[in-house]
Chain A
Amino acid sequence: MDNQLQTHSIRSLTDGYFSHASVLDECFRFNEGAKESWKQLLTNIENLGVDELKIRQQELQKLLQENGVTYNVYGDTNELNRPWLLDSVPLVISAVDWRIIERGMKQRAYVLNKILNDLYGERTLLKNGIIPPELIYSHPGFLRPCDKIKLPGQHQLTLYSADLSRGPDDKVWVIKDRAQAPSGMGYALENRSALNRIVPELFQHHHVPKLGGFFNNMMQALIQIAPQGKENPRIVLLTPGPRNETYFEHAYLASYLGITLVQGEDLIMRDSFVWIKTVDGLEKVDVIVRRVDDTFCDPLELREDSQLGIPGLLQAVRKGNVAVANPLGSSILENTGLMAFMHGAFKHFLNEEPIIPMIATWWCGQKKEMDYVIDHIDSLVIKSTQRLSGFKTVMGSHLSRSQKEELIRRIKFEPYKYVGQEEVQFSTSPVFPKEKLEPRFTVLRSYLVAGKDEGYEMMRGGLTRCSPEKGSFLVSNQDGGISKDTWVEATFKETTLSGKQSAPDMKRKAVLPSRAAENLFWVGRYTQRVIRTSRFIRIVLRNLTQTGFSNNENDSESLRVLLKTVTHITDTYPGFVEDADEELSNPLLEIHQLICNPERAGSILFTLNNLLKAMYAARDRWTVDSWRIIDEIENVKRRIAAVEPEGIRHVFTLLDQLTAGLLSFTEMTRSSMYRSDGRTMYRTGQLIEEMLMELAQFKSMLTHQREESVEFQLLESVLLSNQNLSSYRSVYRTTLNIVPTIDLLFLNSQNPTSIFSQLEGLLEYSRSLAHKDGNTNDNEISKLVFECYSQVRLMNIEVLAKADEETGSREELDKFCEQLQRQISVISAKLSSTYFSHTTYSHQNTKEGFQFEV
């Protein structure tokens, strides 16, 4: 490599890089230039040019946002998700470093597996005093109901992950262990694919190892633990749900691995087996990959207040009928106090020293160690032994005198809860935030999975995270860190991926969990509701702004009917319906509310929020392209929310954009979602909503005969909002009239939005659900649909169109609409009770105290 050439351009990128630095850097040696393993990457950056890198960095962020890559922040109710930040400059790990890391991590995984096995087995570590019993017994991660439960095979620890950093001695250290449900590997995958797509130039002359092999190994490991050596087990990924911080990753991994994404309520325990509730009934589950913390997994035997688990799960696990990875109880390995006793455990199980050093740790549960921590509090980091204790890690040196006294008091009161760790300055790596590279503290999360014999396979890469601020020591997703792709320097080019390429679960019939079915159904319904409402309100708004209000008697009568219809279809009574003089005198205010107020039930934004929630909950079902559209819809939503009443005219374009977005989402979904129960549910929801919206409109606008010009305007609006005006003109070639309008809207089988066509569609879908398992008979739902279908087919338009001569009311039509509305609502309710089983459970009461005294 030509060093001369490189230094010039890199100098502009790194200008001032070392101005505050006193710590090691991953890429640059102080005043010496870049390390060998980084030189190719820096050359590639140089060839790309700084200006181009800036552009790519923005594109990278845009792509991730469009792909819906997020990290949720708990308690952030306004914005459900936060964008994931990815730096365009990867972290490069030299082949030499990696050899040590890999050997060391495999050694550590081996020992942790042994520890886990021992703690839920013989507990020789406690009996022999290698680990103090209090350290284990005081930790909420030690789950007594899980004692003696074993997974088949050599491994209790299926997945293992640890955070690594480079210490001041230039060695890589273990910072913490993650052993119950390690997160981040999905983000690592997504980071790689995004970087590869947006900045492929950086990869030139690099043999960056692919990540796919690791996931094959992971699938193999999951198959290994299946009960009774089942060859083709059903594997599910258990998520706490869309509100969880890493929900994106759960959905992403589930689709990548081809396994079913489930929540606790999708599963039940019965006959000591675990089953998934699907629209086809119950299907047996063999392996659960969990992302739910272990204490939340079974409200019967573990945390009673959990709503995320499966009551009775432990019973099925004990019987060996279902395997959970990582096993329940493995969070005991995340006890930070264990760090202080790892040397002993390495010696006990391997008679070796740890290859990778770890942070010096003092557990306060021992008198001498507690005294040491208190005496040296200024140079230590104080942590809880529990990950989710509510105690925020603090650096003693950052505390005021009174804070320090308070902390010491707490430590003395419950010493076993705290550890002190030496405060270490870790290395930085270059991040490209705007103009030039800046050093940021860096942590690498590495991943291992159970392999052959007692060994482990390691991901050749990982998830690198950097501190969000220059000079800040905090590196965590909760605080908004920046992530990096991770490149392990390979000395040779990989030929093929190791391990089998099969995705085992694909051989199984895909199942649709009831909850997913329900979400898809509601995505269908809400999509149509938003489209329909937008379209209608748009027509009303146009009328309002064009004619002005109350200029002309007839105009104002038709407007009044239109406004009332708005109230009817959005279900926002009283609105324009009753005693609405005030509303009618200034209708724009109410219309503005019905579009832009997300708090108002029935408003467009309100429904849109529900739609986005349902989309998000079913996110493993959408393609990347669909996500891009969803992201666009989110953008439009934000702009609609910002519209002021005075600026309501701007809302036209926004409503158009919203409808266009939703229509392309519908199109995309229709073409990409293969014919399956999921598609049936989605389409069924759409059809039901369409019909309900139409009928509400018809009932409000057509069931009263009015003065000719008013009637004309109303018919025009109805046809317009159903996008039938031009077909009316081409089919009937008459002026607008009630009889042909009813024919077109209800009966015309050529018109895809006629009630008849939609019922035909609904009949087909309801029969496809009824005819499962070779059944050829209708079920209750398809019978109900058929009933509606027949009524419409046999309807007598002449009779329905007839108006009472005195009152002008078309009573028959009114009744007909109302009856259909009611029947379709019943169908919707039946669907929900048949296919979306809702189970609520509660705890058996206990006698209020044992009441006894001699």
Chain B
Amino acid sequence: MRYKIKHITEYHYQETVSTGHNRLCLVPLTRDHQLCVSCEVKISPTPDEQVYRTDFFGNTILFISSYKEHSQLEIISESIVDIQNRVNADRAFSSYVLWDDVKNQVAKQGDLNADVAQYTLPSLHVPYSEVIKNFAQDCFADGATLWNGCQSLMQKIYSSIEFKPGFTTVNTPVESVLKLRKGVCQDFAHLMIACLRNMGLPARYVSGYIETLPPAGKEKLVGSDASHAWVAVYFPDIGWVEFDPTNNLLPSYKHITVAFGRDYFDVAPIKGIIFSSGGQTISVKVDVNRVE
């Protein structure tokens, strides 16, 4: 499947910005089932500096700086991505590995890939927490397979948390999300990661896009798609297997991966600092369209 993605972010500043630095994480990854055919990031006004690099996690980061006064900033990322069905989920489905064994394997250092170890540890948005552990506990019965554990956890989160924008921000602690029982996709993702890590299992955060279809009989609206976030769990001998707790489904070919990290902090699409005294408004539009 080939997708054309257009992700537009616009900032309007109340006061002139004299200098602005931004770190963009907008270029889709190329990985087993996904090929980023092309990606162009257009910025206006044209920044004075643009530097691409690969970060610790293997994501593509674009650093931009503007030293000319400006009162708005537009960032358009346009990419073409080919996606095949994810096979890891199928392999995981038929895997009998027990969650307890994976946990013990992780705890016994050295057996696992050193890189995977960090995804069992707390991170900025994903703390160790008794409350969260208690919430997750019943999904991981003795003798349950890792696959079943993850499935029932995803199901539990999906049915316990109501998808409702406007109640949380990027800085809402995941324990509060559990208390509020409301949130958006990154809250779902953070909560599921927190549950897994509190159970001693390696889990990471995936940032990307998802293709949506209009209600039957209606035209798809321009800019109606959005950035999305979901979860990947490490299965020994298989690799990372993805789960989308916001939608209670297994990502196949409709989820386009931009970046991996421990949590949102590592892969925020746009992070910036502006030298200005006033406030700002932001608007984001995303279109994900199939190219036949």
Contacts and interface: CB of A to CB of B under 8 A. Distances in A.
B30 interface: no
B22 interface: yes
Nearest to B284: A847
Contacts of A402: none
A414 B200 CA distance: 11
A841 B229 contact: no
A493 interface: no
Q: Give chain A's interface residue range (CB within 8 Å of chain B).
A: 35 or more
Interface stretch (B79-87, B107-115, B139-147, B233-241): B107-115
A841 B48 CA distance: 19
A846 interface: yes
A137 to B, nearest CB: 4
Nearest to A268: B19
A134 B186 contact: no
A844 B275 contact: no
A301 B271 CA distance: 8
A127 B114 contact: yes
Given A847-B282, A850-B227, 19 more contacts: A132-B109, A137-B118, A268-B19, A269-B65, A300-B21, A300-B23, A312-B21, A312-B65, A312-B273, A315-B51, A315-B63, A319-B51, A416-B121, A840-B275, A841-B275, A848-B165, A849-B169, A852-B184, A852-B228
Given A272-B49, A300-B21, A849 B55 contact: no
B23 A849 contact: no
A846 B166 contact: no
Contacts of B274: 841-844
A271 interface: yes
Interface of A: 123, 126-127, 129, 132-134, 137-138, 144-145, 147, 268-272, 299-301, 311-312, 315, 318-319, 366-367, 413-414, 416, 839-854
Nearest to B112: A133
B100 to A, nearest CB: 15
A191 to B, nearest CB: 41
A844 B186 contact: no
From DSSP, what is the main secondary structure of chain A's interface residues?
loop
B272 A300 contact: yes
Given A311-B273, A852-B246, A853-B163, A133 B117 contact: yes
B74 interface: no
Contacts of B280: 844-845
Contact of B210 (A138, A300, A852): A852
Contacts of A847: 227, 282, 284
A129 B111 CA distance: 9
A367 to B, nearest CB: 6
Contacts of B246: 852-854
A321 B121 CA distance: 34
A847 B10 CA distance: 11
Interface in B10-69: 11, 18-23, 48-49, 51, 53, 55-57, 63, 65, 67
Nearest to B225: A852
Nearest to B118: A137
Contacts of B253: none
B61 to A, nearest CB: 9
Contacts of A137: 117-118, 121
A848 B284 CA distance: 11
B268 interface: yes
Contact of A271 (B11, B48, B185, B272): B48
B155 interface: no
13 contacts: A129-B110, A132-B109, A137-B117, A144-B55, A312-B273, A839-B18, A841-B273, A842-B274, A843-B273, A849-B165, A849-B184, A850-B185, A854-B210
Contacts of A843: 271-274
Interface size band for B: 35 or more
A261 to B, nearest CB: 23
Contacts of B109: 129, 132-134, 366
A652 to B, nearest CB: 47
Nearest to A853: B163
Contacts of B11: 844-845
B271 A846 contact: yes
Interface centre among A134, A144, A841 (most CB of B within 10 A): A841
B165 A367 contact: no
Contacts of B247: 853-854
Contacts of A272: 49, 51
B70 to A, nearest CB: 13
A129 B67 CA distance: 46
Contacts of B168: 848-849
B170 A849 contact: yes
B226 interface: yes
A311 B55 contact: no
Contacts of A842: 273-274, 276
Nearest to A413: B128
A367 B80 CA distance: 48
B160 interface: no
Contact of B228 (A132, A301, A850): A850
A839 B57 CA distance: 33
B55 A145 contact: yes
A842 B55 CA distance: 24
- Of the candidates B53, B65, B120, B268, the one having the most CB atoms from chain A within 10 angstroms of its own CB is B65
Contact of B229 (A147, A848, A850): A850
Given A144-B266, A853-B185, A315 B210 contact: no
